[in-house]
Structure 1
């Protein structure tokens, strides 16, 4: 094809925009242009029909999060069920009693707004901004990598033409990822029982909620009265929401650690290029399956493994505290221990949608050290009481570390010494600071004559 015969890149981009924007079809001249590029016009039209919705927003190269919302709400609302008046009243009563019990078990104050029952769709609407924030680094990486991978598969004579529509090509990967994310969030809406069920602060600050539509599934095989289940879950949900409301820094701390982990993920370009070499845009199922299975995310690097360990310790520390406070608040319930064990097992295993989220963004939101963290908080509570325990959430540098989970005795002794008014035990930081001060003092003592303003020199006082 000569330079005179090659279509202008801007013209090619305009063809795609017209199709993807739903502005009609190809005219005969445009069909011939595509045929000249080696593209089957029939296949192109089928591809455009499938992707028109993804590009309806204008194809500006960004991630089409509206498609994620649409897909999530479609799945959340597909059964058409709402919340009965009786359900709302039952959970309002459960939250009311749980509030009183919780105030006896923690020094952290009550929420400013009452907890409520949510439908699955309402949960999607409330939590979608956080899911978007967590997934955006991976979505952007996949969209960029797909643009580059597909570009390398084009014949040399087509690359200049395709460059004019590169922004639209990038949107393909982003839109498919957003749709897949929406499917995962919609699936989660059918699994979660409460706002804090996934362990991270996805609900707006200071808000607590239970999803009655999923409540029955949680207790189906436990053979425990619904009243006890509702009271336990309401107490746990309020404890989770109170903690994040009290420790304002904690929400940002968790989200930043999750996004730090996600930003370190890079798409496996070899796998994506191999997929792009046989990718049929009119049948994008293979790409969707690759996204869902996590096949495009390579093995974790050492830095990623370390970041994941820090995040798991943080989530375990949070949920361990919630476990202990909930246990103390619900000790009046005959079945409290059985319910607690069911919650722990459920969190350890996770549901299908939660596992899909792990494949999609490379992150499993399950605290692997929950039992160890709960044992630490129990030891702290028994040693110094609830007020001293809860004060550890006042500032980030007071929060227990992974080493404290490993050996709670050191943390307990430190807190006991503080309660007695003893000077804190020396540590490596103290020794390093003393060494620096000693070095500075030695340097001052060995200063040359005349270096100090107070040095009168060998000839006595200087004249005024």
Structure 2
């Protein structure tokens, strides 16, 4: 269905190498990011009350091509149940049809990864066996710190605080990654080839009209219910990480206020094409997850304290729904 090697080739070429740096600057950035991740671990644990064993998930400092490869591997794993389901229903394609089709979809996935590969600063991959891995994309971090005129040492630690929070979230709660994978499998269980074609048609029309994103391409009521659950979880994770970086930041990062102000402006996207691609890829929804999730976490923590808030990590039933994110008091009533 997807030529993943071709997707990596296309994505890596489109992403490019990133900003020009000397060998010494590159090595210094890599070392500082590794040190920043290590330094962030006890800071995150102390602030959140979450505990995780050392060495449960590796921290990798990668270039853009490395991020593209890692995400192609991750997508292949996530999409495997869907591919298997469609193959079971429709049968294996012919050799020529399969080769052409997989190259086309590989190119499309590569274009998406290439664009995102220039934007992402870091990412926790919960589906990497056995306990996940944290990726820090050095060229993008250097590019961003230059773009907003941030102090490099402060900015790198600031990024590490956010991304290390994700590593702590998943490694302190091993069931969380399994739960998200179960949701992906649940999507696969709802897919019928005929319905998928109709969903693609509706989604494409929504995108053409300027009122949709790629998330609209699969849009049955059952699939939307699953995606709403995933949206609730992702809003929690992103909002929690933003709250942690803003809570810990002032104690260890002198210029954190200036960084946050400039970075929020950067998140809005630059030119018209950039904003268009962000909308089509659903990145506007991603930004809403940061904002809405942070409001949810702050409201609950302000009302009941961090220790009581941590009930959110007790199991799948305690996770906030999309509706809970918009109404934190409803989550407090339901869970606490």
TM range (shorter): 0.7 to 0.9
Question: What's 1:392 paired with?
Answer: 312
d(CA) in 1 for partners of 2:88, 2:284: 24
d(CA) in 2 for partners of 1:140, 1:73: 27
Question: What's 1:192 paired with?
Answer: 120
Q: TM-score, normalised by structure 2?
A: 0.73
Cα pair 1:348 1:366 within 8 Å, conserved: no
d(CA) in 1 for partners of 2:299, 2:156: 28
- Could you give the per-residue CA deviations for residues 3-39 of structure 1, whole angstroms, max 9, x where no partner exists? xxxxxxxxxxxxxxxxxxxxxxxxxxxxxxxxxxxxx
Question: What's 1:313 paired with?
Answer: 232
d(CA) in 2 for partners of 1:67, 1:120: 16
With over 3 angstroms needed to count, the CA separation of the structure-2 counterparts of 1:367 and 1:316, relative to structure 1, is farther
Cα pair 1:320 1:370 within 8 Å, conserved: yes
For structure 2, the residue ranges without an aligned partner over 5 or more in a row are 202-211
For residue 303 of structure 1, report the CA deviation from its aligned partner. 4.0
Cα pair 2:200 2:218 within 8 Å, conserved: no
Question: What's 1:267 paired with?
Answer: 197
For structure 1, the residue ranges without an aligned partner over 5 or more in a row are 1-61, 149-164, 272-292, 419-464
Question: What's 1:66 paired with?
Answer: 5
d(CA) in 2 for partners of 1:364, 1:141: 30
Question: What's 1:339 paired with?
Answer: 259
Cα pair 1:98 1:231 within 8 Å, conserved: yes
d(CA) in 2 for partners of 1:231, 1:238: 10
Q: CA RMSD in A?
A: 4.3
d(CA) in 2 for partners of 1:270, 1:230: 40
For residue 136 of structure 1, report the CA deviation from its aligned partner. 5.4
With over 3 angstroms needed to count, the CA separation of the structure-2 counterparts of 1:185 and 1:353, relative to structure 1, is farther
> Does residue 286 of structure 2 align to residue 366 of structure 1?
yes
2:146 to 220, 223, 229: 220
- Greater share of helix: 2
For residue 214 of structure 1, report the CA deviation from its aligned partner. 0.9
d(CA) in 1 for partners of 2:84, 2:213: 15
For residue 243 of structure 1, report the CA deviation from its aligned partner. 0.6
For residue 322 of structure 1, report the CA deviation from its aligned partner. 1.4
Question: What's 2:65 paired with?
Answer: 121
For residue 135 of structure 1, report the CA deviation from its aligned partner. 4.7
d(CA) in 2 for partners of 1:366, 1:403: 16
d(CA) in 2 for partners of 1:226, 1:306: 42
- Could you give the per-residue CA deviations for residues 316-363 of structure 1, whole angstroms, max 9, x where no partner exists? 122111122222221223433443455556566599799769858x89
d(CA) in 1 for partners of 2:175, 2:264: 26
With over 3 angstroms needed to count, the CA separation of the structure-2 counterparts of 1:125 and 1:350, relative to structure 1, is farther
For residue 367 of structure 1, report the CA deviation from its aligned partner. 5.5
1:88 to 23, 30, 42: 30
Alignment of 1:229-248 (within 5 A): 229-248=155-174
d(CA) in 1 for partners of 2:44, 2:184: 29
Structure of greater Rg: 1
Alignment of 1:398-417 (within 5 A): 398-412=318-332
d(CA) in 2 for partners of 1:369, 1:64: 31
With over 3 angstroms needed to count, the CA separation of the structure-2 counterparts of 1:355 and 1:98, relative to structure 1, is farther
- Could you give the per-residue CA deviations for residues 254-299 of structure 1, whole angstroms, max 9, x where no partner exists? 344356457647135997xxxxxxxxxxxxxxxxxxxxx989x868
For residue 132 of structure 1, report the CA deviation from its aligned partner. 1.8
d(CA) in 2 for partners of 1:129, 1:375: 33
Question: What's 1:173 paired with?
Answer: 101
For residue 206 of structure 1, report the CA deviation from its aligned partner. 4.0
Question: What's 2:207 paired with?
Answer: none
With over 3 angstroms needed to count, the CA separation of the structure-2 counterparts of 1:395 and 1:183, relative to structure 1, is same
d(CA) in 1 for partners of 2:233, 2:265: 19
Task: Count matched residues.
Answer: 313
For residue 234 of structure 1, report the CA deviation from its aligned partner. 0.5
With over 3 angstroms needed to count, the CA separation of the structure-2 counterparts of 1:354 and 1:69, relative to structure 1, is farther
Q: TM-score, normalised by structure 1?
A: 0.55
Cα pair 2:242 2:294 within 8 Å, conserved: yes
